[in-house]
């Protein structure tokens, strides 16, 4: 396959997928991602990697010129260093996870009666909030994790609906 004949779609592919990655990554950073944003970001990363390899092969001489100068080499060394540092856990994290993860997971595994008590509402009100959020419970002994699965993002969104005060200050 002659890559030069593929030029009309390789560079636009990289531009398009990079744009999608930048947008979904920004949404994830600000915790505004919804629907398939996170999955699209994860899977499009593979498409971006393939597109970049094709783009580099298509522009191999220019790539070599960038590596021939000191600035180009330093940018790549700095990028590799940042990548290496990204694997070091931060002090505030437990087991490499942010500190809020353990309490959220514990609450998501607790029976609905316990969650209602923590939310400061009776179980009937909490189950009504779950139903309004599209989550149907069969028993007060179920947990949020039982109802929505292991996806922590979905658990957090569901807990957010349970703890919502609908614009009023709930008595606690």
Q: What is the pLDDT of residues 1-47, one digit of tens each?
A: 788 888 889 989 999 999 999 999 999 988 888 889 999 999 999 99
* Mean pLDDT confidence for 128-157: 90
What does the pLDDT read at residue 87? Answer: 85
Q: Which pLDDT score is estimated for 77?
A: 94
User: Residue 136 pLDDT > 50, yes or no?
Assistant: yes
- Above 80 in pLDDT, residue 168? no
Q: Is this prediction's pTM over 0.75?
A: no
DSSP secondary structure string for all residues of 53-95: HHHHHHTHHHHHHHHHSHHHHHHHHHHHHHHHHTTSPPTT-BT
Beta-carbon count within 10 A of 106 CB: 10
Question: How many other β-carbons are positioned within 10 Å of the β-carbon of residue 2?
Answer: 6
pLDDT at site 68: 93
3-state secondary structure of 145: helix
What phi and psi values does residue 94 have, to the nearest 5 degrees? Answer: -110, 115
What is the per-residue pLDDT across 45-104, written as a single tens digit (0 to 9) for each?
999 999 999 999 999 999 999 899 999 999 999 999 999 998 887 665 555 567 788 888
DSSP string, 135-157: ---S-TT-BHHHHH-S-HHHHHH
Interval 130-152 mean pLDDT:
90
Tokens of 58: 């298509």
Predicted local confidence at residue 142, as pLDDT: 92
Q: What would the two tokens of residue 28 be?
A: 């994830």
Quick one: pLDDT at residue 169? 42
């Amino acid at each position: 396959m002659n890559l030069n004949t593929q030029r009309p779609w390789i560079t636009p592919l990289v531009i398009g997928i990079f744009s999608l990655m930048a947008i979904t990554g920004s949404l994830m950073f600000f915790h505004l991602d919804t629907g398939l944003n996170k999955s699209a970001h994860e899977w499009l990363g593979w498409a971006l990697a393939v597109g970049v390899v094709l783009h580099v092969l298509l522009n191999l001489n220019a790539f070599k010129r960038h590596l021939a100068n000191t600035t180009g080499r330093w940018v790549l060394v700095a990028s590799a260093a940042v990548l290496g540092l990204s694997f070091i856990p931060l002090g505030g994290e437990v087991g490499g996870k942010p500190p809020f993860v353990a309490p959220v997971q514990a609450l998501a595994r607790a029976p609905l009666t316990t969650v209602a008590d923590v939310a400061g509402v009776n179980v009937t009100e909490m189950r009504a909030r779950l139903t309004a959020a599209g989550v149907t419970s069969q028993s007060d002994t179920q947990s949020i994790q039982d109802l929505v699965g292991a996806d922590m993002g979905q658990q957090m969104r569901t807990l957010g609906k349970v703890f919502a005060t609908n614009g009023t200050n709930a008595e606690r």
